[in-house]
Structure 1
Amino acid sequence: MSGRITGRALVLGGSIAGLFAARVLSETYAEVVVVDRDVLTGVEKTRQGVPQGRQVHGLLARGRQAIEELFPGITDELVAAGAGSGDVAGNLRWYFNGVPLARDESGMVAVTVSRPMLEFHVRQKVQDVPNVRFLERHDILGVTATGDGRRITGARVREPDTGIERELNADLVVDATGRGSRTPVWLTELGYQRVAEDRLKIGIGYTTRHYRIRTDPFGRDISINVIASPTLPRGAICGRHGDHIELTAYGVLGDVPPSDPEGFDAFLASLAVPDIADAARVSEPVDDPVSYQFPASLRRRYERLDRFPDGFVLLGDSVCSFNPTYAQGMTISALGALALRSHLRSGPPRSLDFLRELARDVLDGPWDLMTTGDLTFPDVPGERTLKVRMAHGLVAKVLDAATRDGKVASAYLRVAGLLDPPEALMKPAMLMRILRYSLGSRPVPVPAPRDGRERPAREPA
């Protein structure tokens, strides 16, 4: 390719973010090496290095588009392999505050796919790229640098079975090791300032169980989504994959759904609507519930550093780890890879420039969206500025209107899906629609969840 850079790129971490990075780097570097401590090749189940892989993973509308840009045709391949596909506003059953959103044909494509299945298909495509190779079953010990520490030159790795250590030289190193990234420590060892971190304590606990469908609880839907709210801080996502169901229940601020079957069923019965408990009741469990906890969202502010070594960038959860209930993680990883692709078009990466671009163009909007949402829960610590309080008031109006009007529901889901900025809801025509329907001018028919017949939404205020 005309933009090819002679040399080697080294990707630390072979999970989703690392795979996206490898795909992009293969377009410009002569060789790309992906290092991971797990076995990667041929793995179709949850990997040891991804303990959260058994939980439901959402792929936002913008994320599906981004992955399609990286791997054209992958949506059709996933559907052919058993993933569900439909319209975000027309084939997903959304409940906010216990009330269903109105339906619409939005044109936004939703895909319900398990994390292991998506990762397997992405990995297969990356493996097919001729100049990419995987170095599996190797621990990552640290990075190597020039004597003055101004440039990262590679990484030190160890094969655990033999204890043999070696150095891998590279022209560019990408840290995609995830939330547990050691880059903050490596930088201080090289004499750099400690990176500042923003944390938002949310205390998400979530538990997943898988089922085989016996009696179809979905109808024309591919997912049932009951979103936690301040009045009932419990939620669940129930997605259809072929003839199987992946069901994740979650609670906020330490309210972890039980991992024993009876306790899990009781938790489902406590949700604002019965749809998900009913879906579990009429289906056949194929495993026991498994729990996972997420204490706090974390953002490392590399873009604020005055100095940063050349030949080194970070992507995915290594930079920013989002509250998983917003389903932003995989989408942000894909968008970060596309941002790196764009940056590389002008030549070898300028590390700090790229991290500032990543923060501004990819991270800031979703981080603010998530933070504003989490601060609706009164016990989540954080400052409720005037801007945040005004956003809370607007979202309350939007969600109220969205239960009555499908166009408002689509507009809201476009923002939540990272297709549009929140400002899109403030355009005059949409704002007038929001005000009209949040004032309860008239109910709009909403499809009933089980028998397909329509019923009216709640009566207007």
Structure 2
Amino acid sequence: MRHAVVIGASVSGLLAAAALSRIAERVTVLDRDRLPGEDVHRRGTAQSRHAHGLLARGLEVMELLLPGLTVELMERGAFGGDLQADCRWINEGRRLAPAPGRMPGLLVSRLLLEGQIRRRVSALPGVEVAGESQVADLTHSGDWVTGVRLVSGETVSAGLVVDASGRGSRMPAWLGQLGFPAPAEERVEIDLTYTTRVFRRRPDDLAGDPVVIMAATRAVPRAGVALAMEGDRWIVTIGGYGDAPPADLDSFVAYARSLPAPDIHELVSRAEPLDEGTHHRTPASVRRRYERLPRFPRGLAVVGDAVCAFNPIYGQGMSVAAVEALRLGEWARRDRPARELFRSIARVVDAPWDIVAANDLRLPGVRGRRTAKIKMVNAYLERFHRAAEHDTELGRRFLRVANLLDPPSALLRPACLFRVLRGGSDVVRGDTGDAVPAGEPSYPARHQN
């Protein structure tokens, strides 16, 4: 392949370019924003001001695509830890049993991560990352896409065009202009609004733990994340389904007190604020079913949020995009029909989509199709989280699924089912052998403001 064009210079587009650089003579990444030389916020990445999770599988794949990236990020201030031993994972108001889990994680701001990926990709042979280059539409010859036309009127020819333009992708409309059907959409209407503030981090905050991830519950449909990041800072994002957390400090702290467990409130009520806070609203999780289309143009692909835009509170987007970039490179090397790529991407998306959709559909006010399977899985997971509060092996298995290392079906294997049933009845022993009463939450019930 002589030339590939990638639309969008966010994490998904940059990783797609890294994968394609091993196949194409030239790769051009086009973005409508002016791309800064420093790590600063820009219009096209509104999410950069909020907490971002990098899952274990995502870190693995990024390192495959850009060897040495982890070390470079750590040299710039990012730091690692054990995802089970060092992180407070709180589900149903209960903390997952901590223990060495042999799952390395990396704490890094979205700004630093995207900036370093952009620097690495821009330095790859044959790769150009061009800002202030907004794509207006596709050029084509019959059923073949031959390139893109910019708003400026310039045409850029390519043997492959990859849409990595995110939630706002115009691909469904472009397909209609070419005479092809648009993909069906699946939506889970979440009406999630969240607010983020940055605080000074002290070594003794949260007894030294660098992460709190707190899921919403049916009783309290509010969630929160506190992540340590470079520069001795905390980034804290709290959100509600159907209500909006305020940004002013006193109200932010009061809202944090209403979360299903006290950890984040204890942090923000004592920490020094460093900014004024910022809001974001996500109306829905959206999945476009490109793999079900009967026809699709040659020379065209779609990846990242343009295929599936998850509820961002789960932190899956960047990691899923990384795996999709790997699949994109494998597909482009074989020069096969787009249907094969979309089927491969669908297999990547299935597990995290099922996790997000099922978990959100537990909550009042969330609109979507509640199947019998979803209801059964949610009932099982509630019991699972009760047992995992004291069973470190269940905690390890849950985190491997949450970090996209294992499929959700791993939580239904006989050994796992046995531990859950045993944990829900009397006493559970974790890997340490300590006996504890099962079924009692670590945290008292909290009421919303």
Whether these two folds match at TM > 0.5 is yes
User: Does 2:343 match 1:356?
Assistant: yes
> Which ranges of 4 or more aligned residues in structure 1 deviate by more than 3 Å?
442-446, 454-461
Q: Distance in 2 between matches of 1:120 and 1:430?
A: 41
1:8-407 to 2 correspondences below 5 Å: 8-146=3-141, 148=142, 150-158=143-151, 164-214=152-202, 216-242=204-230, 243-252=232-241, 254-346=242-334, 348-359=335-346, 361-407=347-393
Determine whether 1:431 maps to 2:417. Answer: yes
Contact (CA 8 Å) 2:424, 2:438: kept in 1 or not? no
- What is the alpha-carbon distance in structure 1 between the residues aligned to residue 243 and residue 438 of structure 2? 29
Q: Which amino acid is 2:215 matched to?
A: I
Spell out, residue by residue over 1:348-384, the C-alpha distance to the aligned partner (whole angstroms, 9 max, x if none).
Answer: 342232122211x211222122111111113322332
Distance 2:284 2:127 in 1: 34
Per the alignment, residue 447 of structure 2 pairs with none
- Partners of 1:430 and 1:444 lie apart in 2 by 13
- The one-letter amino acid of 1:186's match is W
Alpha-carbon displacement from aligned partner over 1:254-311 (angstroms, at most 9, x marks no partner): 2111122222121112222222122123221111110000000111111111111000
Alignment deviations for residues 27-84 of structure 1 (CA, whole Å, 9 cap, x no partner): 0000000101112252301211111210101111111111111112222222232223
Q: Secondary structure in 1 aligned to 2:193?
A: strand
Question: C-alpha deviations, 1:120-140, integer Å up to 9, x for none?
Answer: 111111011021012211221
Inter-partner Cα distance in structure 1 for 2:345 and 2:431:
42
Matched position secondary structure for 1:134: strand
Query: CA offsets per residue over residues 394-442 of structure 1, 9 Å max, x none?
Result: 2112101100111111111111111111211222222212211222314
1:450 match? none
Report the AA paired with residue 233 of structure 2. Answer: H
Question: TM (normalized to structure 2)?
Answer: 0.93
Unaligned 5+ residue runs, structure 1?
159-163, 447-453
> Which secondary structure state, in structure 2, belongs to the residue aligned with residue 120 of structure 1?
helix
Counterpart contact for 1:192–1:308, Cα < 8 Å: yes
CA contact (8 A) 1:102 1:445 kept: no
Cα distance in 2 between the residues matched to 1:9 and 1:63: 24
1:451 aligned residue: none
Moved more, 277-286 or 114-123: 277-286
Tell me which of 395, 408, 411 is aligned to 2:397.
411
Question: CA separation of 1:374/1:459 partners in 2, compared to 1, >3 Å: closer, same or farther?
Answer: closer
Identify if the C-alpha distance between structure 1 residues 443 and 194 changes in structure 2 by more than 3 Å, giving closer, same or farther.
Answer: same
Paired residue secondary structure (2:266): helix
Is the CA contact (8 Å cut-off) linking 1:102 and 1:402 kept in structure 2? yes
Q: For the residues of structure 1 that align with 2:257 and 2:438, how far apart are their CA atoms?
A: 22
Q: In 2, distance between residues paired with 1:460 and 1:285?
A: 34
Unpaired segments ≥5 residues, structure 2? 442-449
- SS state at 1:165 partner: coil
Query: Shift in Å at residue 247 of structure 1?
Result: 0.6
More off after superposition, 362-371 vs 165-174: 362-371
Aligned residues: 439
* Structure 1 SS opposite 2:427: coil
Q: Per the alignment, do residues 445 and 25 of structure 1 end up closer, same or farther by CA in structure 2, a change over 3 Å counting?
A: closer
The AA in structure 1 aligned to 2:374 is V
CA distance in 2, matches of 1:410, 1:32: 40
Q: 1:221 to 1:14 in 2, by over 3 A?
A: same
CA RMSD, Structure 1 to Structure 2 (Å) = 2.0
Q: Secondary structure at the match of 1:291?
A: strand
Structure 2 CA distance for aligned equivalents of residues 455 and 431 of structure 1: 19
- Cα distance in 2 for partners of 1:279, 1:79 equals 25
**Matches of 1:269 and 1:404, distance apart in 2:** 25
Gap change, CA 1:460 and 1:41, over 3 Å in 2:
closer
User: Which residue type is aligned with residue 381 of structure 1?
Assistant: R
Q: Given residue 335 of structure 1, which amino acid in structure 2 is its aligned partner?
A: V
Q: CA deviation at 1:218?
A: 3.1
How far does residue 191 in structure 1 lie from its aligned partner after superposition? 1.1
2:150, 2:121 → 1: CA distance? 22
- Secondary structure, counterpart of 2:206 in structure 1: coil
Q: Cα offset for 1:459?
A: 6.5
Contact 1:440 1:460 in 2 (8 A): no
Secondary structure, in 3 states, of the residue corresponding to 1:240? strand
Whole-angstrom CA distance in 1 between matches of 2:211 and 2:220: 20
